[in-house]
Structure 1
Amino acid sequence: MDNNYRQGFMDKLQAVKFLQGTLGEIALPDGSAATERFSGLRDVDGKIREVRMILDGLDGLPPTLVSGMAEDIDFQANSRRIRLETLARYIRSALKFVDTGAFEKPKKIIHAPPDFSRLTSSVPGLNDELEKRWREAQRCIHVEAYTAAVIMMGSVLEGLLLARAQLSASTAYQSGRAPRDKTGKSPAIHDWNLSTLIDVAADIGWLKTDRGKFSHALRDSRNVVHPWQAVMTRANFDQATCKTSWHVLDASVGDLLNSLN
Structure 2
Amino acid sequence: MNLSTAKNLIEDILKSIINPDGSAATEKFSSLRDVDAKVREVKMILKDLPGDKNSIFNEFEQDVDFSANSRRVRLEALAHYCNTALRFLDTGVIHEKKLLVSAPDLSKLTSFLPDLDVIIQDRWLEAQKCQYAKAYLSSVIMMGSILEALLLSRSLMSQPEAFRSKSAPRKKDGSNIPINAWNLNTLLDVAVELGWIKTDRGKFGHALRESRNVVHPWAHVTTKADYDEATCKTCWHVLKASVDDLLNSIA
TM-score range, shorter chain: 0.5 to 0.7
Q: Any idea what the Cα deviations from partners look like across 1:157-186, whole Å, max 9, x if unmatched?
A: 000000000100110000000001111111
The match for 1:212 is 202
Classify the secondary structure of the residue corresponding to 2:134: coil
The match for 1:147 is 137
1:133 pairs with 2:123 = yes
Given that 2:110 and 2:116 are in contact with CA atoms closer than 8 Å, whether structure 1 keeps it comes out as yes
Residues 231 and 260 (structure 1), Cα distance of their counterparts in 2 relative to 1, 3 Å cut: same
Alpha-carbon distance in 1 for matches of 2:214, 2:114: 28
User: What pairs up with 1:84-163 in 2 under 5 angstroms?
Assistant: 95=82, 98=85, 106-163=96-153
Deviation larger for 242-251 or 113-122: 113-122
Q: Any idea what the Cα deviations from partners look like across 1:53-91, whole Å, max 9, x if unmatched?
A: xxxxxxx9xxxxxxxxxxxxxxxxxxxxxxxxxxxxxxx
The match for 1:236 is 226
Alpha-carbon distance in 2 for matches of 1:214, 1:108: 26
Alpha-carbon distance in 2 for matches of 1:123, 1:189: 13
**Shift of residue 106 of structure 1?**
3.4
Residue 193 of structure 2: which of 203, 206, 213 is its match?
A: 203
Alpha-carbon distance in 1 for matches of 2:24, 2:184: 69
TM-score relative to the length of structure 2 = 0.66
**Shift of residue 31 of structure 1?**
5.8
Q: Partner letter of residue 159 of structure 2?
A: A
Which consecutive aligned stretches of 4+ in structure 1 deviate over 6 angstroms post-superposition?
A: none
Given that 2:148 and 2:187 are in contact with CA atoms closer than 8 Å, whether structure 1 keeps it comes out as yes
Alpha-carbon distance in 2 for matches of 1:164, 1:102: 46
Unaligned runs of 5+ in 1: 1-11, 33-59, 61-91
**Shift of residue 116 of structure 1?**
0.9
Residue 226 of structure 1: which of 213, 216, 235 is its match?
A: 216
Q: Partner letter of residue 165 of structure 2?
A: S
Alpha-carbon distance in 1 for matches of 2:22, 2:95: 30
Identity of aligned residues (%): 50
1:180 pairs with 2:197 = no
Unaligned runs of 5+ in 2: 1-6, 28-49, 51-78
